[in-house]
A and B are shown apart, each in its own frame.
Chain A
Amino acid sequence: SAVISQKPSRDICQRGTSLTIQCQVDSQVTMMFWYRQQPGQSLTLIATANQGSEATYESGFVIDKFPISRPNLTFSTLTVSNLSPEDSSIYLCSVEARPGANTEAFFGQGTRLTVV
């Protein structure tokens, strides 16, 4: 399994500001993923962070709002820009591991963002 550390675990931000979330993995992984979990809802993929190339965004998510960095194979950041109350969610980092023929996907503990 992979151990994923996310920082910060929670934050309260003013509208119009930005928050950068860090994700550190204890092993090298090709792809890292960022998900959003809105209050009372399930997880939605924001983007896939590829090392050495631009992130790939899902429909409804844009780079200007959610810029992502992936400087190496163990680290990524997600920035949520120009915050509004609608951005209040839990943001989760995820990695995929493929031991043998299996596929396993692991998540960090999440960052709970509240925008006021």
Chain B
Amino acid sequence: EDQVTQSPEALRLQEGESSSLNCSYTVSGLRGLFWYRQDPGKGPEFLFTLYSAGEEKEKERLKATLTKKESFLHITAPKPEDSATYLCAVQARTSGSRLTFGEGTQLTVNP
């Protein structure tokens, strides 16, 4: 069974204080690992898909990396508008297009 565990559950940062969110996964043949941002009352917003260990992708202040067991979402010099819940999901080669999500990390960036 595919499993995704995100840590920490909640993270409070000061504006400009860089940090990382963790996504550990167990999957029978990874097709892709997805990162999303979700604001309250809205659907998840697609950020990245990573496919193989060693891959990195960047978008503004966010950088996602992938190993064989986990992914990190690095946030550099965050701003208050980066406050949101960040979700990680995996797609296995054997499960079609199903995404298995973690519980998310709720990020708060204080000015």
What is A's interface to B at a CB cutoff of 8 Å?
1, 4, 6, 31, 33, 41-45, 48, 58, 92, 94, 96, 102-110, 112
Contact = CB atoms under 8 A, between A and B. Distances in A.
B49 A108 contact: no
Interface majority SS on A: helix, strand, loop or mixed?
Answer: strand
Nearest to A109: B43
B32 A103 contact: yes
Contacts of B91: 103, 105
Contacts of B68: none
Contacts of B102: 42
29 contacts: A31-B97, A33-B97, A33-B98, A41-B103, A42-B101, A42-B102, A42-B103, A43-B87, A43-B89, A44-B101, A45-B98, A48-B97, A92-B43, A92-B44, A94-B99, A103-B31, A103-B32, A103-B49, A104-B49, A105-B34, A105-B46, A105-B89, A105-B97, A107-B44, A107-B45, A109-B42, A110-B42, A110-B43, A112-B41
B97 A43 contact: no
